[in-house]
């Protein structure tokens, strides 16, 4: 089983997250026609679109936090199958909505179920892979699926939307989850009781405490993740329209929307090699935030649409390859075993859900008042620099405690 773990657990969860992200970004692709059909394409576009794009994240925020805590006693395999089933049905039903209210409801259901699902990935990683394998396992489980979906998704979903409309877009993305992924999960994912590295203790589960999550420094991880959540979702929710505003249309718009995520995939291997060789996971993750922030702040200094897209591409690509795989390895290495799912849920819920919701409105409202998506992206640059600074402080604290082997690759 040792060799097949990478395919049966890592590979299956990679494909599952790929589908999950297609179900998240389909609304960004189909938004212009949805706004027209549901009646908010006029002056209220920015505000109503912000609500439509971020309702998913509102449900996602709450469900990540409580989903990670409340599902500790349940097998992650069956939690994953149940949530995947519900969100796939919700995605299909979105294709039939005729009102903004129903659109928001189904996106909320999507957010809640995907939010409960997310912490299960960290539970799988911790239980099925050894400590020295966690960075690679997280890269497969929580990195490549996400960024392959974003890189391929915008390129593939945009032509489907252009050819068949937004209704079919939701039918296809939701249908793949029901027809393909649920059978695969049932067949290939292992039960918790079969996991080689599970550290479940007999008897009552210990109480979840701040110490179990990693102590006071854990709060700095949360803050850094909120800032990166604002950065990632602020760009991702609006990237198709932002790229269009730079003068790209048709196939060029689809490719331009995908470029930042293609860069994330291309940079993943060299950054993983650097991370493994130096062992400085915290420093590399912090630099991912700081460099990305500086690149976004430079947006007003260039006038060409190509140059602006290049800065956005480099910022997101470098951040993703430096920050994302390392941050989950840090969390899984510093939280107590029984608290890993809860820690992942709290961080991702507040960061991706809470931070993403704020960023969705931030970029939307700044577009409303300035007429430019770039002004919102610059604001995101400032915020992500604050997140990088917090992560550097975290590294200092943990290093002084001797709790984090920053130079040995053990965290």
Kindly report the CATH number assigned to the domain that includes residue 265: 1.20.1250.20
Phi-psi region for residue 206, left (φ > 0), alpha (ψ -120 to 50) or beta? beta
pLDDT at 407 over 50: no
As a whole number of angstroms, the distance between CA 52 and CA 110 comes to 12
Residue 348 domain-assigned (yes or no)? yes
Report the pLDDT value the prediction gives residue 184, as an integer from 0 to 100: 94
Report the pLDDT value the prediction gives residue 329, as an integer from 0 to 100: 77
User: pTM of the full predicted structure?
Assistant: 0.80
pLDDT at 408 over 50: no
Find the mean pLDDT for residues 374-395: 96
As a whole number of angstroms, the distance between CA 161 and CA 109 comes to 23
As a whole number of angstroms, the distance between CA 396 and CA 406 comes to 10
Residue 156 domain-assigned (yes or no)? yes
How many structural domains comprise the chain? Answer: 1
Q: What is the CA radius of gyration of the chain?
A: 20
Find the mean pLDDT for residues 173-201: 88
HSE-up of residue 158 (Cα within 13 Å, Cβ side):
21
Which of the four pLDDT bands, split at 50, 70 and 90, describes residue 411?
A: very low
Residue 179 domain-assigned (yes or no)? yes
Find the mean pLDDT for residues 204-231: 86
Report the pLDDT value the prediction gives residue 409, as an integer from 0 to 100: 38
pLDDT at 385 over 70: yes
What burial letters (b/e) apply to 148-177, b meaning 16+ CB within 10 Å? bbbbbbbbbbbebbeeeebbebbbbbbebb
Q: Which of 69-83, 125-139, 222-236, 345-359 has the lowest mean pLDDT?
A: 125-139
Report the share of the chain in percent with pLDDT over 90: 56
Find the mean pLDDT for residues 374-391: 97
Residue 196 domain-assigned (yes or no)? no
pLDDT at 191 over 80: yes
In terms of Cα–Cα distance, which of 263, 251, 256 is closest to 239? 256
Find the mean pLDDT for residues 200-212: 67
Phi-psi region for residue 335, left (φ > 0), alpha (ψ -120 to 50) or beta? beta
Largest separation between any pair of C-alpha atoms in the chain: 63
Residue 406 domain-assigned (yes or no)? no
Residue given tokens 């005729």 in the structure block:
98
- DSSP code string of 12-69: HHHHHHHHHHHHHHHHHHHHHHHHHHHT--STTHHHHHHHHHHHHHHHHHHHHHHHHH
pLDDT at 405 over 70: no
As a whole number of angstroms, the distance between CA 147 and CA 122 comes to 17
Residue 54 domain-assigned (yes or no)? yes
> 305, 253 in Cβ contact below 8 A?
no
Which of the four pLDDT bands, split at 50, 70 and 90, describes residue 255?
A: very high
Residue given tokens 């300035």 in the structure block:
370
Q: Which of 15-24, 105-114, 118-127, 370-379 has the lowest mean pLDDT?
A: 118-127
- DSSP code string of 106-138: HHHHHHHHHHHHHHHHHHHHHHHS-GGGHHHHH
As a whole number of angstroms, the distance between CA 44 and CA 60 comes to 25
Kind plus residue range of the DSSP H or E element containing 149: helix 145-164
Residue 226 domain-assigned (yes or no)? yes
Chain center to CA of 239: 15
pLDDT at 154 over 80: yes
Report the pLDDT value the prediction gives residue 178, as an integer from 0 to 100: 95
Domain that holds residue 314: 5-191+210-401
Q: How far apart are the two ends of the chain, measured CA to CA in Å?
A: 25
Find the mean pLDDT for residues 157-181: 95
Structure tokens at 225: 């993740």
As a whole number of angstroms, the distance between CA 138 and CA 144 comes to 9
Structure tokens at 224: 């850094």
Chain center to CA of 103: 21
Find the mean pLDDT for residues 109-129: 90
Question: CB within 8 A of 9, min separation 6: which ones?
Answer: 124, 128, 129, 141, 188, 189, 190
As a whole number of angstroms, the distance between CA 216 and CA 306 comes to 43
Which of the four pLDDT bands, split at 50, 70 and 90, describes residue 203?
A: low
Residue 410 domain-assigned (yes or no)? no
């Amino acid at each position: 089983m040792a060799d097949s773990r990478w395919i049966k657990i890592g590979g299956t969860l990679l494909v599952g997250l790929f589908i999950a992200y297609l179900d998240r970004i389909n609304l960004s692709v189909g938004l212009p026609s949805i706004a027209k059909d549901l009646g908010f394409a006029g002056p209220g576009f920015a505000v109503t679109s912000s609500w439509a794009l971020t309702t998913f994240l509102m449900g996602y925020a709450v469900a990540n936090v409580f989903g990670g805590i409340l599902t500790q006693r349940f097998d992650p395999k069956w939690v994953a199958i149940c949530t995947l089933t519900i969100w796939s049905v919700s995605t299909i039903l979105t294709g039939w909505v005729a009102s903004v209210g129903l659109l928001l409801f189904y996106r909320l259901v999507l957010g809640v179920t995907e939010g409960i699902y997310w912490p299960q990935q960290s539970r799988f990683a911790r239980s099925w892979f050894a400590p020295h394998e966690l960075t690679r396992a997280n890269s497969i489980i929580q990195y490549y699926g996400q960024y392959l979906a974003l890189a391929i998704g915008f390129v593939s979903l945009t032509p489907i939307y252009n050819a068949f409309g937004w209704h079919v877009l939701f039918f296809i993305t939701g249908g793949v989850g029901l027809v393909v992924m649920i059978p695969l999960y049932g067949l290939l994912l292992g039960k918790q009781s079969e996991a080689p590295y599970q550290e479940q203790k007999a008897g009552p589960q210990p109480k979840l405490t701040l110490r179990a999550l990693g102590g006071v420094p854990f709060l700095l991880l949360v803050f850094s993740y909120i800032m990166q959540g604002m950065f990632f979702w602020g760009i991702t929710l609006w990237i198709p329209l932002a790229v269009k505003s730079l003068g790209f249309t048709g196939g060029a718009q689809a490719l331009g929307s995908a470029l930042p995520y293609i860069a994330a995939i291309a940079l993943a291997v060299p950054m993983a090699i650097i991370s493994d060789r130096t062992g400085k996971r915290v420093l590399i993750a912090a630099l991912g935030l700081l460099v990305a922030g500086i690149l976004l702040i430079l947006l007003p200094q260039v006038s060409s649409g190509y140059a602006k897209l290049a800065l956005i591409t480099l910022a997101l690509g470098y951040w993703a390859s430096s920050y994302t795989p390392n941050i989950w390895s840090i969390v899984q290495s510093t939280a107590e075993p029984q608290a890993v799912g809860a820690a992942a849920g709290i961080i991702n819920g507040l960061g991706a859900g809470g931070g993403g919701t704020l960023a969705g409105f931030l970029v939307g409202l700044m577009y409303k008042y300035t007429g430019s998506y770039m002004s919102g992206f610059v604001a995101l640059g400032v915020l992500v620099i604050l997140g990088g600074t917090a992560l550097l402080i975290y590294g200092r604290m943990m290093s002084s405690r001797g709790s984090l082997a920053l130079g040995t690759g053990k965290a």
